[in-house]
Amino acid sequence: MPEAITSLLERLIRFDSVNPSLDPAGGGESAIGAYIADFCRERKIKCQLQQVDGERCNVLASVAGGSDETLLFVAHLDTVPARGWIRNPFEPYTVDNRLYGRGACDTKASLAVMLAALDSIRREQPRTTIVVAGTIDEEYRKAGARALGRIEPRFAGAVVGEPTGLEMVVAHKGSIRWQIEATGRAAHSSMPERGLNAIEVMADVILRLKQLNAALRARPHPLTGPPSLTVSLIEGGTDICTVPARCLISVDRRLVPGESPAVAFGEVNSILRDVMVEEPSITVHAVAPAIADLPVSAVPGTRLVSVAQEACARHAGTGAPRGVPYGTDASELNAAGIPCVILGPGSIEQAHTIDEYVELAQLDKAFEIYRDIMQTY
């Protein structure tokens, strides 16, 4: 089975499945989804496509179980763009037991292992129906996971494949991202008193947001660390000789479990109201819509957490509940009421990097862990 998993992963890497929302030249998920459907049909594994966005579809493979419950294993099909590689990022190669290629760890390794584990149990009847899903659009707006969350009856739980080094992640941060616009009045820079400088007012806003971020750092979550706020983009002005009438910033606010997007949004809006009280001639407001991903937190001792923890301990010597700062498809699934654990081969340090790779030794252990969960849950 190890060689078969490696061969399958190499085949998946060869598909350019770069998210077209991140790069219009990206190959998208259609071809890799069609290949997975063929892979399943050849092995007489039930498979279907779930239309999500035009021709972009989730692919769902399943083996029927002995109960009414269904356990989901999910890994995303899309990748981020592959810029700056010296070698072809879609032609996998192995050096020192590391398999290189775009998506090698994020998350085609998880997907290959999940499919191999499903194939290994297809002649058995697990206790629970097992579905392995490849989702679209995780790297942008998680539309694929959102569509999975609407399936009825609801999945009993989900194992989300991400590069966690085979550690069991039960909590991660969410995010809310939006823009703030300051509107003043243009004037010739030789007579600045006739204008209202939107950039100067936005500079005040940014300093206050920096103070808010310092306060957020004093509110750490025990597993994920503290929330944060980053001003990540800024634009303003028209030319060097004109008082700028407009300035726009982009804000990335990371949420920890227990925080809500509404409260985080409200904290910033309170700052904007204070600025406008002090500068009533200038309008400063949030530009909608905000894009929000909810934080994730699994309840210790629940069935899924216990089964995953025992499988990790048996096969990899891991299993202690952990938290991470990044987001996953679990945010959409958890928001739909589906308990999640995040677990997979590879290191997050390799995700999105040039010369991304996965340690081949982790594929074997991941196979045993996923198979164990499929048979035991």
List the domain boundaries for the chain.
2-172+295-376, 174-293
CA dihedral 348, 255, 293, 336 (to 10 degrees): 100
Rounded to the nearest 5°, which phi and psi values hold at 364? Answer: -60, -45
What pLDDT, on the 0 to 100 scale, is given for residue 290?
A: 80
What pTM did the predictor assign?
A: 0.93
What pLDDT, on the 0 to 100 scale, is given for residue 221?
A: 96
Q: Which residues of the chain have pLDDT under 70?
A: 1-2
What pLDDT, on the 0 to 100 scale, is given for residue 104?
A: 98
Spatial separation of the C-alpha atoms in residues 347 and 309, rounded to whole Å: 19
Q: What CATH number was assigned to the domain covering residues 2-172+295-376? A: 3.40.630.10
Spatial separation of the C-alpha atoms in residues 316 and 173, rounded to whole Å: 25
What pLDDT, on the 0 to 100 scale, is given for residue 3?
A: 78
What pLDDT, on the 0 to 100 scale, is given for residue 1?
A: 58
What pLDDT, on the 0 to 100 scale, is given for residue 289?
A: 74
What pLDDT, on the 0 to 100 scale, is given for residue 2?
A: 63
Q: Is the dihedral of CA 104, 136, 149, 34 positive or negative?
A: negative
Name which CATH class applies to 174-293: alpha beta
User: Inter-axis angle of helices 109-120 and 30-42, to 10 degrees?
Assistant: 20
